Structure 1
Amino acid sequence: MKLTTCRVSTLPWRRAILGLTLTGLLAGCVGPTVQDYAQERPELDLRQYFNGPLTAHGLFTDRSGKVVKRFTVRMTGTWNGDEGVLDEHFVYSDGTTQQRIWHLKYLGDGHYTGRADDVVGQAQGQTAGNAFHWNYVLALPVDGKVWNVNMDDWMYLMDGRTMLNRAAMSKFGFHLGDVTLSFTKE
């Protein structure tokens, strides 16, 4: 009696398992969505919070977590219906100053757009619960050059006066650093 051996190639199975594993890992890398905060309170209404004078204190950390620059921002927000202006005046720890004027528009259902002179294109964002998440490209001057960096910006209303903000900066998919701020409504 002759036995024949049937050899089944394991290569397609290995590829399938590797593909499923990578898909699972990538799905695990997806961050939170603004809807994850829909039940959190107090509820954030940008038109209400960014109306009137505010002060923010912040810092920029590089990708290793080292504080590179600290700053204070004095700002005033004004709204006319669904259109708002947020006039920001920065004073950095090295003595330099900067002004950024945001032109914001409420589109309904928690959605906002924004533009500023140093923002490439238009910022897109949404609120849900106590959170606001938006993305934009910032034209950032660095050592005499201008880098267009992606900003993944999250704000969380803590109470009627305080909001915390963290924005991750990246370019070509590489994390460059973070901006952290604490806003106080006056």
Structure 2
Amino acid sequence: MSLLFSTLLFGTILALFIIWFCSVKLGFLSQDPDHYAHQGTEFDIRERLCGDMICEGVIYGPFGRVNTRFVAHMHAKWKGNIGHMTESFSYDNGDTLERVWDLKVNSNDGLIEATAPDIIGTGRGKQSGSGVRLCYNIKLPKSAGSYVLNTVDWLYLMENGTIIN
């Protein structure tokens, strides 16, 4: 019985390790902004996220299905490396959300700092080549359960100027 238990325990631990390794090293989370350093058009958020913009998107649930669709009207302005962006979201269930970002870009290395009232702490990111990554913890409103989501936002600049998020 002890040998069987040890074998099952070892097998379970090995399986969990393999799942973890694959998700970290082979999946979405393994992306790094430097992977895009020499690909496509250079993505500088100070130039591309400027003025009035409209964004349409979806939010996926934990099982990969679309939970929510939204349209966001955004406006961003920059003074040197300091930016201010407002977002007005309208969701398919009738909910709305306003967010105001304060952004700072380091010209030397492309590092980004971002704050907003519903962001816990400071979001951190990097722009490199045609890609931008921003990581932050967002506190959802009470109507959405007040959960805190660990968010990784990727933006990709396409050759025609379209930004995919």
> Are positions 1:86 and 2:89 aligned together?
no
**Alpha-carbon separation, structure 1, partners of 2:23 and 2:68:** 32
1:27 is displaced (CA, Å) by 7.2
**Alpha-carbon separation, structure 2, partners of 1:132 and 1:83:** 17
Q: TM-score, normalised by structure 1?
A: 0.72
The residue number in structure 2 matching 1:157 is: 157
Unaligned runs of 5+ in 2: 1-9
Bigger Rg, which one:
1
1:71 is displaced (CA, Å) by 0.6
The residue number in structure 1 matching 2:51 is: 52
Secondary structure at 2:38 match in 1: coil
**Alpha-carbon separation, structure 2, partners of 1:142 and 1:67:** 21
1:164 is displaced (CA, Å) by 0.7
- More strand as a share of residues: 1
Measured against aligned partners, the alpha-carbon deviations of 1:130-163 in whole angstroms (never above 9, x if no partner) come to 0001211000125463111100111101135311
Amino acid aligned to 1:53:
D
> Are positions 1:29 and 2:24 aligned together?
yes
The residue correspondences of 1:93-104 to structure 2 (distance < 5 A) are 93-104=92-103
Q: Could you tell which deviates more after superposition, 152-161 or 48-57? A: 152-161
The residue number in structure 1 matching 2:145 is: 145
Contact 1:42–1:160 (CA under 8 A) maintained in structure 2: no
Measured against aligned partners, the alpha-carbon deviations of 1:112-132 in whole angstroms (never above 9, x if no partner) come to 100001000000000111000
Unaligned runs of 5+ in 1: 1-14, 166-186
- More helix as a share of residues: 2
Q: Which has the higher contact order (CA 8 A, sep 6+)?
A: 1
How much identity, in percent, do the aligned residues show? 29
Runs in 1 of length 4+ with deviation above 4 angstroms?
none
**Alpha-carbon separation, structure 1, partners of 2:111 and 2:71:** 28
Amino acid aligned to 1:135:
C
**Alpha-carbon separation, structure 2, partners of 1:55 and 1:145:** 27
Measured against aligned partners, the alpha-carbon deviations of 1:95-121 in whole angstroms (never above 9, x if no partner) come to 221110110001221111000010000
Q: Could you tell which deviates more after superposition, 77-86 or 28-37? A: 28-37
**Alpha-carbon separation, structure 2, partners of 1:163 and 1:112:** 18
Measured against aligned partners, the alpha-carbon deviations of 1:57-77 in whole angstroms (never above 9, x if no partner) come to 011121222221111001111
Q: How many residues align?
A: 149
Q: TM-score, normalised by structure 2?
A: 0.80
User: CA, structure 1 residues 142+160, in 2 after alignment: closer, same or farther (shift >3 Å)?
Assistant: farther
